[in-house]
Each structure stands twice: as C-alpha cells, then as structure tokens.
C-alpha cells in the first residue's frame, strides 16, 4: 500500500516554501545538532512476546540546514539517531537496553511566536533503519515519522530544541508487523555558516 497522507504533508511543506520564497528577506544557516533521546518502542502492531518495553536514553546528532524566510523557518538535514528501549520479561529478570539505529532526513517547518526567540514547528522525518537488535517478519527499513518541536534561540549561533517524534506512521497505515517508536529529544544546535539576503523587517 502506498502511504499517501505523509507524502501529501511533504508536498504541502514544499509548496509553502515556494510561496514564501518571494520574500525580500531570507537567511540560510548550516549547523550541527547533538542531543539526547528518551525513547521506547510501541508493540501494538506485533504479537505478544512476553516482554516489557520501557523508556531508555540514547543519542542523536548530525547536520542541519535552516532556511529562514521572514517569521518562518524550513529545516532539513541528515542525522544519526539511536532509538533505545529497555527490555525485561514479565516474570522478572534484568533490564537489557537495546538500540535501533536510524539515519534521519527531516523536513520541518517552524514559525516565530515570540520576539524572534521562541519557535514552534512540525513536519515529517524520513527515516532509514541502519541497525536493529530484533528482527521481525514484517519489519520495514524505511519509515515516515511525525515530529513536533519547540525551539529557543539563545543567540545568533546557538539554540535549544525540544521535540517529540512518533515513528512509523506509514507502518500504522499499512498495518505492518513492526515496532513503532516514541522519541522525546532535547538538543543543542550550533550554526557555523550564516548567509543573509535582504534586510529583516522589524
């Protein structure tokens, strides 16, 4: 089955970028991002296996490209993300942390809501599974995730991002036998290349 709804959201974000690209002011920022994931798997699509899955910590990092247009920001990039879970048997036993490795390609849009400091955003993350400790019959190496975020602009070069990602929307639509993911994240962002066009309106 073709997953059309997330792809439509991808197209809507791109259309909004084209509509805003006529602005007299824009800014392009290339930077790095690194932070901590607090994540777990959701087993609603897989058969009961007698184990409990709990939240665990892991990391996420990579490079981002931010395109600022007036009060809007479009974000893309490439990131490596580990999505972790702690597994234990229902009858007891030691918790064992397992890590699912993903390569992420986000397409996000955000808007300033307070004095060019605070931004709210949402969008799509195209994710490819690079490594998995547990193999399922119906697992997909590619998934489409939904993400919401809040961003605090510390200064011209640094910012903090807090986000929530729901991983595997296409698998829910296709009813695939695979894990879904819930990922909370907090990251430090650093911009090391800024390109400015035009004059920002006050």
Question: Which H, E and C letters describe 72-138, residue by residue?
Answer: EEEEEEEEEEEEEEEEEECCCCCCEEEEEEEEEEEEEEEEEEECCCEEEEEEEEEEEEEECCCCCCC
What is the C-alpha separation between 37 and 82, in angstroms, rounded? Answer: 8
Report whether 109 contacts 70 (CB < 8 A).
no
36 C-beta neighbours (distance < 10 Å), count: 15
pLDDT at 49: 81
Instruction: Mark the ranges of the chain whose per-residue pLDDT is less than 50.
Output: 1-2, 20, 201-202
pLDDT at 137: 62
pLDDT at 55: 96
- How many residues are present in the chain? 202
pLDDT at 2: 43
Q: Which two tokens stand for residue 97?
A: 């942390």
pTM recorded for the entire structure: 0.83
CA distances from 68 to 41, 76, 96, 108, 169 (A): 34, 12, 43, 12, 28
Domains annotated for the chain, with CATH where assigned, are 4-197 (2.40.160.20)
* DSSP-assigned letter for residue 8: H
């Amino acid at each position: 089955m073709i997953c059309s709804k997330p792809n439509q959201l991808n197209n809507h974000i791109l259309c909004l970028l084209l509509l805003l690209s006529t602005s007299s002011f824009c800014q392009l920022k290339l930077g790095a991002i690194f932070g901590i994931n607090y994540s777990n798997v959701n087993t609603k699509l897989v058969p009961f296996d007698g184990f409990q899955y709990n939240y665990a910590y892991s990391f996420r990092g990579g490079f981002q490209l931010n395109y600022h247009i007036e009060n809007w920001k479009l974000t893309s990039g490439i990131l490596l993300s580990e999505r972790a879970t702690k597994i234990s048997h229902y009858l007891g036993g030691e918790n064992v942390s397992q890590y699912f490795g993903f390569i992420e390609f986000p397409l996000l849009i955000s808007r300033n809501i307070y004095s060019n400091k605070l931004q709210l955003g949402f969008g799509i993350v195209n994710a490819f599974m690079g490594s998995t400790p547990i193999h399922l019959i119906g697992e997909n190496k590619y998934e489409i995730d939904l993400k919401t975020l809040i961003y605090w602009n510390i200064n011209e070069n640094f910012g903090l991002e807090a986000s929530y990602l729901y991983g595997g929307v296409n698998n829910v639509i296709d009813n695939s036998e695979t894990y879904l993911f819930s990922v909370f994240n907090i990251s430090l962002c650093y911009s090391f290349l800024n390109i400015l066009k035009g004059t920002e309106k006050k």
